[in-house]
Amino acid sequence: MIQEKITAIPPFETGAALLARLSYLTRPKQHLTVNEWAIRNMAHYDSQALPFLAEIMDALSDPETSEVGDMGPAQGGKSMIGEAWIGWSIDHDPADFLVCQPDKQLMQDFVVRRIQPLIQSTPALKAQMLSASNADNIFLKQFRGMLLTSIWPVGSQFRARPVPRGWLDDYDQFDDDIEGQGNAIKLLDGRQTTFEGRDTKLVSSSPAKESGGIEVFIAEGTDERLQPVCPSCGERIELNIKRDLKFDQGSLDEAEASAHVICPAHGCILEPLAKRQLLDSMIDLPQRGFVAHNKNASRRRRTFRRDGLLAFTSWPKLAREWREAQIAWEARQDENPLRTFFNVKGGQNYRSQLSGEKPVKASDLRSRREKGWVMGTVPRGPKVLNITIDVQQDRFELACLGTAAGRETWYIDRFAIHVLDDGLTGVQPFIHKEHWKVLLPLFDRKFPLAATGADGKPIGFAPVLSVTIDTGGSGRKGDQATEGAKYFYQAAVALGIHPSRITLVKGGSSVTAKIMPAGQFADQRTRGGAKRRSARLWIPNVHKIKNIIDARLRRAKPGPGYVHFPEDFSDEHFDELTSEEMVDGKWKQIRARNETLDLLVYGEAALLKPPFAQSQNHMRWIPRGYSITWPKLGSEPTAEKEEINALAAPVAEEVKARTAKPTRRPRKPRRKKGWMTSHKGNF
**pLDDT over 70 (residue 108):** yes
Share of the chain above pLDDT 70, in %: 87
- How far is 159 from 264, CA to CA, in rounded Å? 49
Q: How far is CA 198 from CA 29, 193, 651, in A?
A: 19, 10, 104
What are the sequence ranges of the domains in the chain?
A: 34-227+291-308, 229-281+313-351, 362-608
Listed range (236-250, 408-422, 461-475, 590-604) with the worst mean pLDDT:
461-475
How does residue 680 score in pLDDT terms, banded at 50, 70 and 90? very low
Q: Which pLDDT score, from 0 to 100, does residue 651 have?
A: 39
List, for residues 28-63, the tens digit of each pLDDT value: 667 899 999 999 999 999 999 999 999 999 999 999
β-pairing verdict for 140-143 and 146-151? antiparallel
Q: d(Cα 299, Cα 58) in Å, to the nearest integer?
A: 12
Looking at the predicted structure, is the pLDDT value of residue 356 above 90?
A: no
Residue/partner pairs of 257-261 with CB below 8 Å, 24 or more apart: 257/316, 258/319, 259/315, 259/316, 259/318, 259/319, 259/320, 260/315, 261/309, 261/315
| Low-confidence winner among 302-311, 360-369, 528-537 (lowest mean pLDDT) | 528-537
Please report the pLDDT score of residue 639 as a whole number: 43
Average pLDDT over residues 358-385: 93
Mean predicted confidence (pLDDT) in 79-99: 96
Give the confidence band of 347 by pLDDT, cuts at 50, 70, 90: very high
- Answer yes or no: is pLDDT of 644 > 50: no
The pLDDT, as a whole number, for residue 94 is 94
Res 171 pLDDT > 80: yes
- Cα 519 from Cα 586, distance rounded (Å): 23
Tell whether the model's pLDDT for residue 116 goes beyond 60. yes
What average pLDDT does range 523-529 have in this prediction?
61
pLDDT bin (cut points 50, 70, 90) of residue 673 is very low
181-199 pLDDT tens trace: 999 999 999 999 999 999 9
Please give the mean pLDDT across all residues of the chain: 87
- Predicted confidence band at 26 (pLDDT cuts at 50, 70, 90)? low
Q: For the structural domain made of 362-608, what CATH number should be given?
A: 3.30.420
Contacts of 182 (CB under 8 A, 6+ apart): none
Are the C-beta atoms of residues 539 and 504 closer than 8 Å to each other?
no
Q: What is the pLDDT of residue 524?
A: 60
Confidence at residue 473, expressed as pLDDT on a 0 to 100 scale = 59
Mutual angle of helices 595-608 and 542-553, in 10-degree steps: 110
pLDDT tier at 566, thresholds 50, 70, 90: very high
**pLDDT tens, 242-284?**
999 999 999 999 999 999 999 999 999 999 999 999 999 999 9
Q: Is 659 a residue whose pLDDT tops 70?
A: no
- Give pTM, 2 decimals: 0.67
CATH class of 34-227+291-308: alpha beta
- Average pLDDT rounded to a whole number, residues 301-321: 96
